[in-house]
Amino acid sequence: MLNRADPRIPSASPLFADPAGLPLLLIQVGTAELLLSDSEGFAAAAGAAGVDVTLSPGEAAAATDEIAAFLRKHLG
């Protein structure tokens, strides 16, 4: 709940925050989700800020396998 706060402030939405310094990211989003374009924009901003980011639009059934592969790659 924003309690009348501006929805464009970073504490309300990461889309308006500076992503520099974030750890590596895996962003999964459904191809039919309302947040697809926001996810694409955030991934682009994070990448431009030097964050190692993987954007993966797709279906939920494949997401679990992708998460496991991502964790194995980065955590061993």
Q: Rounded to whole angstroms, how far apart are CA atoms 30 and 11?
A: 24
> Structural domain tally of the chain?
1
**Ordered per-residue pLDDT tens for the chain, 76 residues:** 788 889 999 988 989 999 999 999 999 999 999 999 999 999 999 999 999 999 999 987 788 899 999 999 999 8
pLDDT at 59: 86
Q: Which residues, in sequence order, are CB contacts of 38 under 8 Å at separation 6+?
A: 15
Question: CA separation (Å) from 60 to 30, 32, 43, 51, 69?
Answer: 7, 11, 19, 24, 15
Handedness of CA 19, 38, 41, 23 (dihedral sign): positive
**Domain-located, residue 33:** yes
Asked whether the whole model's pTM tops 0.85, one would answer: no
**Domain-located, residue 17:** no
**Domain-located, residue 4:** no
Range(s) of the domain holding residue 46 = 23-75
Mapped onto helix, strand or coil, the DSSP state of residue 41 is helix
pLDDT at 30: 94
pLDDT at 31: 92
pLDDT at 19: 97
Within its chain, how far is the Cα of 75 from the centroid?
19
